[in-house]
Chains A and B, each alone.
Chain A
Amino acid sequence: MAVKAKSEKRKAQSQSVKLKIGKMELKNPVILASGTCGFGKEIEELVDINALGAIVTKTITLRKREGNPSPRIAETHSGILNAIGLDNDGLKNFMFEKIPYLRTLKIPVIVSIAGDRIEEFVKLTEETQKSSCVKAIEVNLSCPNVSHEGTKHAILAQDSHAVEQIISRLRKITKRTLIAKLSPNVTDIKEIARSAERGGAEAVSLINTYPGMAVDVSTMKPKLGNVTGGLSGPAIKPLALKCVWDAYNSIKIPVIGSGGIMTAEDAIEFMLCGACAVQVGTANFVDPNAPLKIANGIKKYLKDKRISSIKGLVGKLKTCKTN
C-alpha cells in the first residue's frame, strides 16, 4: 500500500514537458539550433543528444559550399559574430554521410535547408524527406552571410512575398512538418511571420543572427574575413524576446524561440513570451551540456510553480492587459 501511495504521489507531481509541433512529437521543448551542433555526430561524446527535444542540422545546400575566408568568428561583448558562410558538403554528402548517423538518434531530426532559387529548396525537400528520420524541415530563409538570386533583399526572410512563395511551394510537395526560420533584421516581423503562416508553415523559428560587424583598431581591419557577420549569444536576447513576442501575437502557428538562450531561466522567458519550444545555439559552444541543463531546469520550474504541462507556460506572460 505504502509503495502504491508513493507512486501515485509521484504521478500527481510529474510534469509533462512533451509537445507537438505539426506532426512532430518532442519529449521536451529544447532543440539544438542549426549550425551549432553539426550533424549530431560532432557532439555525440559531449552531450546525451537523445535526452533532448530535437536536433536541427547545420544548414545544407544543394551543392557543396566552401564557406567564407577566415577569420570566421569574432567575440564581441556577451556575444559572438560569425561569418561561416553556409560551409557544407551539399545534399549528396548529407544523404550518404550524415543520414546514417542521424538515423540512429531517438529524437526527431530537423533538416535545415537553404538555396538561391526556389527549385533548390524543392529539390532539397524532395530528397531529404526520403529518409524516415527526417521529421521536419526548417527552411533557413535568414542567413545573413550569403546572397540570393530571385529577391532584391539581402536576406530572403526580408521579402514577405518570397517567404510565402517558397513555403507554399514546399507545402505542396511535403507532408513533413515545415518550419520557416526567420530573420530579426526586418521592418515588421509580424508581417513576415504571417506570410510564413499563409504559405502553410506549421511553425516559425526565430531568430537567426543579427547582421553585425566588429573592427580591430590596431590593424584597421574588420575582425571577420567576410567583413560582416551574424551576431548571436546573450547580447541579442532582449531583441530576440521581442521578436518572439511580436510573432506570437500575430500568428496561430507555434513559435520556436531562439537568441541568446544560455540558461533555463532564459528559456522560460521565451516560453512566457509565446515560444512553445526553444533552440539553443551559442550556449553549446560554451557548455555542451547547457541544453540538457535547460531541459531539466524547465521541468523543475513547472514543478515548483505547480504547472502541469508546458501549455500552462507558453504565452502566459502577465502584462497589465492580462492581469
Chain B
Amino acid sequence: MIRVSDSYVPLLRRPFGAHEIGKDRIAILYKVVGKATKILSSKKKGKMLDVLGPLGNGFNIEASIVRAPEGRGRPSSIVLVAGGHGVAPLYALAKQLLASSHQLSVFIGARTKAHVICEKEFKKLGAKVYIATDDGSKGRKGLITSLLKNRLRALEIHKAVIYGCGPKAMLKEVGRIAKAKKIPCQLSLEEYMACGTGTCLGCAVKTRSGYKLVCKDGPVFDSKEIVWQ
C-alpha cells in the first residue's frame, strides 16, 4: 500500500503488486488511471515513498510442483494469464518460476497494441507469449480468454497450472476454463481497499468458506474457492 501524498485528496493508500523483487529492492509497475497514480507518476528519482508492506500472500509455486505426476518432474506447462496491469505481478512470478525451469506460456490481453506491456521481458525469460487485443491491433482480435481456450488444447494440459491476474470478468472466465479442463488455477483478485492490513473488512470477497479478505487472506486465491458475484 502506497501513500502518494500527505494531502487528503487522495486520502487512502493505494495497493500495488510487486513487479520485480530483488535482494534490497522491489519494483512496481503501474498504470495511471486516476488521482493517486497520476501523483505517483510525477515523483522524481530519489524521492522517498511511504510504503506499507509487503502485505498478504503471493502465488503459491509449491502448489504447481506438488501436482507433478508421480512426484517426478514438475508440471510441464505453466500458464500465465494477464489482463491490463495484471501483467505486473505475473512478471515477478515468471521470474521466480524460471529458476525452476518450467515451461512458460504467457497470455496477455490488452485494449490496443499500445497497451501491451512486458512482451519482450517475458520472451527474454524464454516464455511463449500469446497476445489478444480488443481492436486486433496486435495479436488475435478479441478476448484473451478465447485465445487461451484454443491454445490450451495444444498444451499438455494434464500437467498444466494456470495463474491469472487482471479484471474480474477475465478472471472469472479463466476460472471457468480451468474448471472445465480440470486444471489447477490460482487467481489474484482486486478489491477497493482502505487499510490493507485486515482491519477495515473493506476488501471482502465471497468464497466457499465465507467472506475472505483480499489484503490479508489474498490477493491470490484458488479459483475453486471463489464464489463469483
Contacts and interface: CB of A to CB of B under 8 A. Distances in A.
B111 to A, nearest CB: 14
B11 interface: yes
Given A66-B211, A82-B194, A75 B12 contact: yes
Interface in A46-72: 46, 58, 66-67, 69-72
B100 interface: no
A43 B197 contact: yes
Contacts of A288: 52, 197
B11 A37 contact: no
A71 B191 contact: yes
B199 A67 contact: no
A169 to B, nearest CB: 29
A46 B11 CA distance: 19
Contacts of B199: 36-38, 42-43, 284-285
B97 to A, nearest CB: 30
Nearest to A58: B201
Given A42-B199, A287-B3, A73 B193 contact: yes
B192 A74 contact: yes
Nearest to B214: A70
A77 B10 CA distance: 8
A42 B198 CA distance: 6
A35 B200 contact: yes
A285 B204 contact: no
Most A CB contacts (10 A, CB to CB) among B193, B197, B203, B204 go to B204
Interface string B7-29: 01111110000000000000000
Given A75-B11, A285-B12, A287-B3, A42 B197 contact: yes
Contact of A73 (B198, B200, B229): B200
Contacts of B3: 286-287
Interface in B170-229: 191-206, 210-211, 229
B201 A67 contact: yes
A153 to B, nearest CB: 25
A285 B194 contact: yes
Given A67-B211, A73-B193, A78 B200 contact: no
Contact of B194 (A69, A73, A77, A78): A73
Q: What class of interface size applies to chain A in its complex with B?
A: 20 to 34
B225 to A, nearest CB: 15
B229 A69 contact: yes
A282 interface: yes
Nearest to B210: A66
A115 interface: no
B8 A87 contact: no
A262 B194 contact: no
A84 B201 CA distance: 7
A134 to B, nearest CB: 20
Nearest to A72: B202
Given A80-B194, A82-B194, A72 B201 contact: yes
Given A72-B192, A72-B204, A73-B192, A87 B11 contact: no
Interface of B: 3, 8-13, 52, 191-206, 210-211, 229
Interface of A: 35-38, 42-43, 46, 58, 66-67, 69-75, 77-80, 82, 84, 87, 233-234, 262, 282, 284-288
13 contacts: A36-B195, A46-B197, A58-B201, A72-B201, A73-B192, A73-B202, A82-B200, A87-B204, A233-B8, A233-B11, A282-B11, A285-B196, A286-B11
Given A66-B211, A282-B11, A284-B199, 15 more contacts: A35-B201, A43-B197, A46-B197, A70-B191, A70-B203, A72-B203, A73-B193, A75-B12, A75-B192, A78-B8, A87-B201, A87-B204, A234-B8, A282-B194, A288-B52
> Closest 7 interchain pairs by CB?
A73-B202, A78-B8, A73-B192, A42-B199, A285-B195, A38-B199, A285-B194
